[in-house]
Amino acid sequence: MTVTTTAPRHRAGFRTFCTEIFPAEHRHPGNIALHIAGVLGGAALVVWAVVAGPLWLAPLYPVVHVVPGLVGHRLFERDAAVGDLRVVRRDYPGLWFIAANHRLTWRVLTGRRP
């Protein structure tokens, strides 16, 4: 069995990632809606855990934040190059995806183009 690997593509900077790469992978309105649901649900969970609920719920933020977006990609924007299991994606830092999700949510909620 022969294993072939491809050279990693040149990684863009954070600004380019947020303005070109991330939006190109998030075009379907259903996928965008699920990403926004994840961001708002994760933020609500953290606020609730800190203010009223048990603090042990706060670490569930990544799960609440990420799962709706993964479902959105599975249902609406499948990508053979990235695959369905985007959690293992290593071409950009994971925090960039979280920041880009928050930027996407902010842009949609303020009436700007995602």
The predicted pLDDT at position 2 comes to 47
pLDDT digit string (tens) for 38-92? 999 999 999 999 998 898 998 999 899 989 988 888 888 877 655 555 666 778 8
Q: What is the DSSP string of 5-71?
A: --PPPPPPPHHHIIIIIHHHT--SHHHHHHHHHHHHHHHHHHHHHHHTS-GGGGGGHHHHHHHHHHH
Half-sphere exposure of 13 (CA within 13 A, CB side): 2
Q: What is the mean pLDDT of the chain?
A: 83
0.85 surpassed by pTM: no
- How is the chain split into domains, by residue range? 35-109
